[in-house]
Amino acid sequence: MISKKAKKTKSTSIINIANNNLSTYKTNAFKFNLIKNKTINHLFKFVTIIILAVIVGILVLFITDIGFDEINAYINRKLIWVILLSSINLVISTFIVQTLTHNKLADTSVLGIGSINLVLLTIAILFLDISNKNSINTFNTILPFLYIAGSIIASLLIFGLSSKNKFEISKKFILAGILLNFAFSAVSTSVSTVLSSSKSNILSNYSSGLIEFKFDFYIYMAIALTLFSLIWFYSILRKYRIVTTNNIIANQLGINIRSIYWQGIIISAIMTATAFFLVGNVVFLGLVGANIALYLFKKDYKYGVVSSGLIGFIILGLTYFFNKNLIVNSQINTSTVIPLIATPYFLYLILKKN
């Protein structure tokens, strides 16, 4: 027969097991509800950003052209593509750089990735004949490929100089990028001094971040490169998130960390080049858009990546809309207004050491 003491011990064990199971159930239920609420919250933010982007798109679509009473929606829809594609590519490329380096001040516009394109553009204008329509068309055709090659070379050079080992990108990444930016800027400035006045004007038009109507080849190529880059990035997104969150866990899971870094850098370079041949160099737009997205979505890159691009579109689109509608006969380059908006935020990050 089982003694009373044994029965009591058995009953106590059963009660403890039941309590543990109940505690585990409550913990799991709490975690599930927390994840569910977080997902709903992020989805709500994502949908809100999409709605705002659509509203901005409608505003840009119906901008009244200076000198005309009619609203030319047919032309402005091309303008929307230019603003949308350039914003998405520039901001997402910065988003990738910031998450790779864990540095909120990392921006492709100050890392030399854009400056090398300026060097290549200046040299191309110096040596190529672009005095007639056929030569200009040829020049416009090869320019995107030139930018892509330049951006990839600059990105890989920065990464190669600054990566200490296979497990991390060192803090020298930002320093190497800034030094290369100064070097490339100095070279482009030196070369531009020997350009004729007509070629100097051409250089200014291509590099000043001018938002204008682009011919269809640029738009189609930008769409193709954007889709290619996004598909590539989302194909490595799970591994990318693990690598940028915890290298030790990524290594334990057998993830090729260095490969993920290389892929992220190349994707960022392609997207930077795409934005550059659409609108030139728009300083600090990527910095602000990427920071806002990271603040809203943290490590939830599934929503954060696309949202960062749409936030960039909202900022650039609204700036363009107000510039063209609130300032009568405005001759101000919209892209030059962006730094006025972004610089206070840039200084805030520095002062807060964040």
Taking each helix axis from N to C end, the angle separating 257-279 and 216-235, rounded to the nearest 10 degrees, works out to 160
Taking each helix axis from N to C end, the angle separating 301-325 and 73-101, rounded to the nearest 10 degrees, works out to 140
pTM of the model: 0.81
In the predicted structure, residue 342 carries a pLDDT above the cut 60:
yes
pLDDT score, position 14 = 54
- The pLDDT of 336-348, averaged and rounded, is 72
CA distance 309 to 90: 8
**Do residues 240 and 301 lie in contact, with contact meaning Cβ atoms separated by under 8 Å?**
yes
> Tens digit of pLDDT for each residue in 157-166?
877 776 655 5
Q: Give CA separation, 112 vs 12, 39, 115, in Å.
A: 69, 37, 5
40-324 domain in CATH 1.10.10.10? no
**Do residues 233 and 217 lie in contact, with contact meaning Cβ atoms separated by under 8 Å?**
no
State the amino acid at position 21 in one-letter form. N
> Tens digit of pLDDT for each residue in 294-313?
888 888 888 989 999 999 99
Which of helix, strand or coil describes residue 298? coil
> Tens digit of pLDDT for each residue in 275-291?
888 887 777 788 888 98
CA distance 111 to 90: 13
CA distance 63 to 239: 43
Confidence of residue 26 (pLDDT cuts 50, 70, 90): very low
**CA end-to-end span of the chain:** 70
DSSP designation for 72? -
CA distance 73 to 79: 10
pLDDT score, position 344 = 77
Alpha helices in 163-256 (DSSP H): 172-192, 197-207, 216-235, 237-245, 247-252
Nearest residue to 275 (alpha-carbon basis) of 103, 12, 94, 33: 94
- Residue corresponding to tokens 């805030």: 348
> Tens digit of pLDDT for each residue in 176-219?
777 877 887 788 778 778 777 777 777 777 766 566 656 788 88
CA 155 to chain centre: 14
Neighbouring CB atoms inside 10 A of 57's CB total 18
In the predicted structure, residue 21 carries a pLDDT above the cut 60:
no
CA distance 315 to 262: 30
DSSP designation for 332? -
Our CA angle for 142, 148, 151, nearest 5°, is 135
CA distance 73 to 327: 20
Confidence of residue 25 (pLDDT cuts 50, 70, 90): very low
